[in-house]
Structure 1
Amino acid sequence: MSLETLTAISPVDGRYRSKTKKLADYYSEFALIKYRVRVEIEYFIALCKIPLPQLQHIDPKVFPVLQDIYKNFSLEDAQKIKELEKVTNHDVKSVEYFIKEKFEELNISALQEFIHFGLTSQDINNTSIPLSILEADKECLKPLLNEVLQKISELAHEWEDIPMLAFTHGQPASPTKLGKELAVFAYRLDQQLKSLENIPYPAKFGGATGNFNAHFLAYPEVDWVAFGNHFVNNILGLDRSQLTTQIENYDFLAARFDNLKRIDSILIDLSRDIWQYISMGYFKQKIKKGEVGSSAMPHKVNPIDFENAEGNLGIASAIFDHLSVKLPISRLQRDLTDSTVLRNIGVPVSHVVIALNSLLKGLGKIELNQARLDEDLEKNWAVAAEAIQTILRREGYPKPYEALKDLTRKNEKITKESIHAFIETLKISDEIKTELKQITPFNYTGVKFEY
C-alpha cells in the first residue's frame, strides 16, 4: 500500500495534511537530511575562511556553487543519501559521502576530507534540528499564533462595551464586559509569546565530547571556541551552548516546549470558554451552506472547531511534556535516546498548527447574541448586591453585607423592583438612595481597561 493521505497512520500526515504540509519543509526526514547537508557545506566554507592552511588557496567562487547543493536539494538527492545509509547504517555519515561525491563532480575531491572535519554526528544534528525549529517557527508557527492573537484582540475591541454576566464557581457573579473577558486571553497569549521570543535556539558544536579535541590537536593555533561561536551564532543564526557533552544540553529547548505547553493551556481555556458561551446561547455560529451538524439531528450546529482545537492542543501538550522532561537527561556524555525523540518535534507542532487553524475558523464563525446576554443580566439583579453593600460600607452603614445577604437569600427571585424596595427601607439619605438606584447589572461592570 502506497503512502497517501488516506493510508497515513498519523492524522497530521493524513486527514490534516492540507493544514500541515508546509511543516514538511522543516520536520520531515527529507528536511532533516537537507538541513544536515546545509550545515556540512556551510561548515566547510567556514573552515576555508579561517583559513586552514590546506584550504587557503580555494577559489571563493566555488562557495555559491557548493551552497547550491543544499539550496537545490531534491528528493532524488535525499533518496541517494538513504541508499548510502543502507550500506553505512549511519545517517550522518551518508550525508558526508554524498557531499564527497559532489566534490568529485566539482573537481575538488582533494579537499573532501575537510567535509565533517573533526566533527561528530551531533555537531550536525544539534545544529540542523534547532535551525529547522527556528525557521519553522518563523515561517509557520509564529505567524499563526500572531494571527490568532490578532483575531482575539479584534473581537475584544469589537465587543468591549458589551456587558455580560460573569460566572464564578459556575454561579452568577459581578458583571463584566465581553470584550474584557476575551482581552484576558489576548493578554495572556501575548505575554507567553514575548516569553517565547526570549528563549534562544541552542546548538551544540564542539566535537566528540564537546571539547574540540580533534580540532585543537590538528590546529592548536586556531581559537576553536571563537570559531564555533561565530559559525553557530553568526552563520547559522543559532545560540551556541558553551559547555556540553557530546550532545546539546537541551535545557533551552525544553524551556521552549514548556512555553508552548503554556500557550496550549491558554488556548484550551479559550476554546472551552467559547464552547460554553455557545452552549449558553451567548454566541451563534454562522452556518455554511451544505454543512451538517449532526447525522441524526438536523437542527444542530456543533462547536466542532473549538472541540477540534482543544483535542489537538491536548495531544500537543502531552508530547511537549515528554520532550521537555526527557531531552535534558542523558547518561554520562551521551546516550541515543534523544535521537528518536528529536525526530518527533514536528508532531506536536503539527497538532498546534491544526488547532490554530481550527480556532481561526471557529472565531471567524461566532456571532454575538446580545439578547441572551441581556436576558441573563436582567434575570440576575442579585449581582447588584455587592455594589449596594459596598456603597453602604463607604457610608458607615452597620453590617451592610449581612443586610444584603438576608435580602438575596430570603427572596426566591431578586428583581429591580425588589432591590429598589429594599433600598427604600434603608436609613440613609435620599441622595444615597438615588445613587444606589442607579446601579444595574448592565452598568456595574468596573473600570474600562485599555488593551
Structure 2
Amino acid sequence: MEASTFVPLRGTYRFSGFHPSITSYSHTRRHCCAALSSASTAAPTVSGSGLTCNFGPQMKPIDEAFFNLMALSPLDGRYAQKVKELQPFFSEYGLIFYRVLVEVKWLLKLSDIPEVKEVPSFSQEIRTFLENIIREFSASDALEVKKIEKVTNHDVKAVEYFLKQKCTSHSEISKVLEFFHFACTSEDINNLAYGLMLKEAMNSVMFPFMTDLCKALCTMAKDNAHVPMLSRTHGQPASPTTLGKEMANFAFRLSYQAQCLSEVRIFGKFAGAVGNYNAHKIAYPEIDWPHIAQEFVTSLGLQFNPYVTQIEPHDYMAKLFHNMVEFNNILADFDKDVWSYISLGYFKQMTKAGEIGSSTMPHKVNPIDFENSEGNLFLANAVLSALSIKLPISRMQRDLTDSTVLRNLGVGLGHSLLAYKNALQGIKKLQVNELRLVEDLELTWEVLAEPIQTVMRRYAVPEAYEKLKELTRGRAVDEESIKSFVQNLDLPEETKLNLSNLTPHLYVGEAENLAKSIDEVLSALSGFKID
C-alpha cells in the first residue's frame, strides 16, 4: 500500500535522498508530521466495535513544508490541510489500522465458537488485551508493520506477523497465535477494511459537509425568497423567478442525492479463497461457517454478502460512487450558475484584506472558490467514475486489478471534499446586489409577453401568441408599449387593470412561496448516514 495520504504510490516507488528525514519516515509522511503532532487528533470510530483509533505517542515530526513541496498529488501537498479529515481513513496508516481491527476481531470471534476448542473462550483480561491493540494502535505500530512488509513483500501477511509478534509475550494468547488470520484469504481482511474505511469516512466526514452545503443553500433560499430575478433560458431573458427559488432548486437536488447516498448498503464477505469456505470446512466440518461469517461481518456494522468469489464484487462501491458523481455534478451546476450570476453583477463578493484577485488588474475580485470547486469536482468525478466502472469487473474468481484501483478511494473523496469546502467558502463571501437585479428586470419588459398572451388565450382572443410575437420579437419593449398594448385588448376591464399593474418584478408566480417552503421539503431528506 502507498504511504501517503492519497497518492497511490507504494513506499518503494517514492523519491528518497532529498532530505535527511525521508529515509526513516517517508512511508508515513503525513501521519508522522500531522497526526502525531497532536495527541488529540480526531480519529475514526468503528461501527459495532466501540473502539477509537489512536495515533499514539508523539514522535519527532518530519519537515511537513518540505513534503508539501515534493508531494506528487496536490491533495498531499498544496491542499493537505483542507482534506486532512480523510487522512485517518484513506492513508496507509488508516488501511493498516482497519486490517489490524479485522484480524483481532476475527480471533475474538473464534474464541466464541464452542467447536473451535483449540481457541478457548477468552477471559475478560485477554479480550481487553486484544482490544487494546486496536485502541492503542499508533504510528509506531504502523511503522513496524511496514518494516515487516519489507521482508514479506505482502501487506496483509505483515499485519498477521505484527499481531503474532505483539502477542508472543502474552502467555495465553501465545498458545493460539496460529489462529490469527485463520482460514482467511487476504481479501477477507481487505474487503472489510475498505468497507469500514468508506462507511466511517462517509458518515464522519463527507455527509457532514454535504449537509452543510444543503443547509447553506437552504438559508440562501429563505433569505432571498422575495428577491425577484430575471431568468435566462438559452442565455436569453425569460420569465422572472426569485433568487431564493433558484437556490432552493439546488438545495433540494443536492439533498435528494445525499439521501440516495445514505441508502447505499456497504457489504462485506468472509468466505475464504474462492467464496466457498473450503478451508474452513476441512478444518471444522461440523461448523455452519456461512452463518458464522454473517455474524462476524454484521458485528462490524457491514451488510453480509453470501455470494462472492475471492473478493467482494464491489457492486455497492459502484452504486455509491455513481451517486456521489451525481451529487458532484449538481454542485458543479451550482458553481457554474453562481459564477454566471457573479459575472452579471447579481452577487458581490466580500473582500479579505491582503487577498489579490489578479496579478495585473487591481480591481478584480475573482470567483476563485467556485472555480476551484468546479475543477475539483470534475477531477473527483473522473476518479469516482473510473472506480465505479472498473471495480465490479474481475476475471473469473479473482484478478489483482482491483487492488491497485482501490488504493485511489481517497483520491476521489479527497477532491470531492476539497470542492465542498471551496463551495462553502465561496457562499460565505456572497452579497446579493439587489440594485443590479432590479436594473435587469427594468430593462426586460418583454418578459410580460407570456402572461399577457396566456390571459388572452383564457378569454379566447384569437392569435394571442402571434400578436405578442409581433409586438416583442426583435423590437424594443418598455413599460409604455406593454401597457398601451394591454389597453387595446378586448378583455374585461378588471383583467386589463391587473395586466396593466403587472411588472417584471411582480411576475414571479409561486417562486417566493416555493423558496420559503424549502425547509419543509428538506425535512424528509435529513439525517444523512449510512447504516
What's the counterpart of residue 37 of structure 2?
Answer: none
What's the counterpart of residue 197 of structure 1?
Answer: 262
The letter of the residue matching 1:191 is Y
Alignment partner of 1:435 is 2:494: no
Matches within 5 A, 1:284-303: 284-303=348-367
What's the counterpart of residue 176 of structure 1?
Answer: 241
The letter of the residue matching 2:314 is Y
Instruction: Give CA-to-partner distance per residue, 1:331-378, whole Å, 9 cap, x none.
Output: 100000000100110011111111111111100000000001111111
1:49 match: secondary structure: coil
Matches within 5 A, 1:50-449: 50-51=113-114, 52-107=116-171, 108-233=173-298, 235-409=299-473, 412-447=475-510, 448-449=513-514
The letter of the residue matching 1:67 is E
Quote the offset at 1:443 in angstroms.
Answer: 1.1
1:413 match: secondary structure: coil
For structure 1, the 5+ residue unaligned runs are none
Partners in 1 of 2:86 and 2:122 — Cα distance? 37
Quote the offset at 1:164 in angstroms.
Answer: 0.5
The letter of the residue matching 1:316 is A
Quote the offset at 1:304 in angstroms.
Answer: 0.1
Asked whether the equivalents of residues 112 and 121 of structure 2 are also in contact (C-alpha less than 8 Å), the reply is no
Quote the offset at 1:60 in angstroms.
Answer: 3.1
Asked whether the equivalents of residues 202 and 238 of structure 1 are also in contact (C-alpha less than 8 Å), the reply is yes
Partners in 2 of 1:202 and 1:388 — Cα distance? 58
Quote the offset at 1:140 in angstroms.
Answer: 1.0
For structure 2, the 5+ residue unaligned runs are 1-17, 23-28, 30-66, 519-531
2:431 match: secondary structure: strand
1:167 match: secondary structure: strand
Give the number of aligned pairs: 449
Partners in 2 of 1:427 and 1:99 — Cα distance? 90
2:473 match: secondary structure: helix
Asked whether the equivalents of residues 379 and 412 of structure 2 are also in contact (C-alpha less than 8 Å), the reply is yes
Most deviating of 392-401 and 425-434: 425-434
1:330 match: secondary structure: coil
Instruction: Give CA-to-partner distance per residue, 1:173-206, whole Å, 9 cap, x none.
Output: 0011110101100000011011011101111211
What's the counterpart of residue 44 of structure 2?
Answer: none
Partners in 2 of 1:110 and 1:420 — Cα distance? 95
Quote the offset at 1:57 in angstroms.
Answer: 4.3
Asked whether the equivalents of residues 387 and 439 of structure 1 are also in contact (C-alpha less than 8 Å), the reply is no
Partners in 2 of 1:408 and 1:148 — Cα distance? 40
The letter of the residue matching 2:469 is K
Quote the offset at 1:409 in angstroms.
Answer: 1.9
1:242 match: secondary structure: coil
Most deviating of 88-97 and 296-305: 88-97
Instruction: Give CA-to-partner distance per residue, 1:208-261, whole Å, 9 cap, x none.
Output: 10111111221222221111111111x210112110000011111110000010
Among all aligned residue pairs of Structure 1 and Structure 2, give the percentage whose two residues are the same amino acid: 47
Quote the offset at 1:70 in angstroms.
Answer: 1.8
Partners in 1 of 2:170 and 2:336 — Cα distance? 59
Which TM-score applies when normalising by structure 2? 0.83
Partners in 2 of 1:429 and 1:354 — Cα distance? 58
The letter of the residue matching 2:257 is Q
Match of 1:25 among 84, 88, 103: 88
Which TM-score applies when normalising by structure 1? 0.98
The letter of the residue matching 2:127 is F
Instruction: Give CA-to-partner distance per residue, 1:39-77, whole Å, 9 cap, x none.
Output: 000011011112321123432321121111122111221
Quote the offset at 1:427 in angstroms.
Answer: 2.2
1:105 match: secondary structure: coil
What's the counterpart of residue 44 of structure 1?
Answer: 107
2:232 match: secondary structure: strand
Asked whether the equivalents of residues 319 and 348 of structure 1 are also in contact (C-alpha less than 8 Å), the reply is yes
